[in-house]
Amino acid sequence: MENSRGTYLNVAAVTSWVGVARLLQAAFGCATFSLVAHQGGFNAAYGTFCMAVWCFCFAVTIFIITCEFTRLHSCLSISWGNFTAAFAMLATLMSITTAVIYPINFVQFGCHPIGCERRDFRISAGVFAGLLFLAYATEVFLTRARPGQVTSYMATLSGLLKIVQAFVACIIFGALVNDSQYDRYVATQWCVAVYSFCFVLTVVVVALNVTGKTTTLRCPFERFVVVYTFVAILMYVSAAVIWPVFCFDRKYGSPHRPYQCSKGKCPWDSQVVIAVFTYVNLVLYTADLAYSQRIRFVSHP
């Protein structure tokens, strides 16, 4: 009985560098949404999004720490290494987004005597939001795959890029639904089909890795990823050509922002966002394809 004492808890889950980073994530996340909920305040879609991100990341981080510390993750029918790597990258992207959005939309350095307390709470929340991003980025840095290391696919550069590609696609979708007028031409509808198809396949790749079901494919996973990435590049190249032409050429759209457009409700602004992030994702898929030639996938690291 003496030899089994202490084997049920994994102390390294909170004492290792990754464990410390996760504890800081929980602390900074709790501090951020507590400051906002207590006195900082939030409203409209931007504020609700920020609050949802902080609460979601905090809840999943606590879940991960609990499972690692109690070793309960061994009872879950998922690939734990892929899950934690994918979440860390997603949380990094989401937290840096909120760290930018919240201060821009809610922090005003000038204040009346009555409103200075709320301003101070909002500034503090913005600082902790930045620290939260650094904590998640630190975990990604610590757990990323090194050359020659056998690790989870989602911890490799190719796996991390999958999360970034999906995140960028979500930004594109957000701009599409914000009165982008994509339904005016069949060509721009094709671009929407490109974004949707590539996003769905990217999510499928991530889901297969997280659930540990990559062996269910009828072809080797590495080959599937390379072929899909190559097809995604070709499709994004078409969108990168078609979208700017049908949105900014004088024959179909406008090369300049219409003067009558109001801030935040201008289709031209959404079209610019979509064009920019189309090229961003094209670069990401190209880098993904280049890196995919150098890795060998291990189903159960």
pTM confidence score:
0.89
Weakest-pLDDT range from 37-51, 252-266, 267-281: 252-266
Residue 261: which of 252, 245, 272 has the closest Cα?
272
Q: Where are the domains of the chain?
A: 1-143, 149-301
Give one DSSP letter per residue of 210-257, joined into a string.
Answer: HHT-GGGSSS-HHHHHHHHHHHHHHHHHHHHHHHHHHHHSTTTS-SS-
Torsion 23-25-31-37 (CA) sign:
negative
123-152 pLDDT, tens digit each: 899 999 999 999 999 999 999 877 666 678
CB neighbour list of residue 260: distance below 8 Å, 6 or more residues apart: none
Identity (one letter) of the amino acid at 299? S
Which pLDDT value is given to residue 146? Answer: 72
pLDDT at site 299: 47
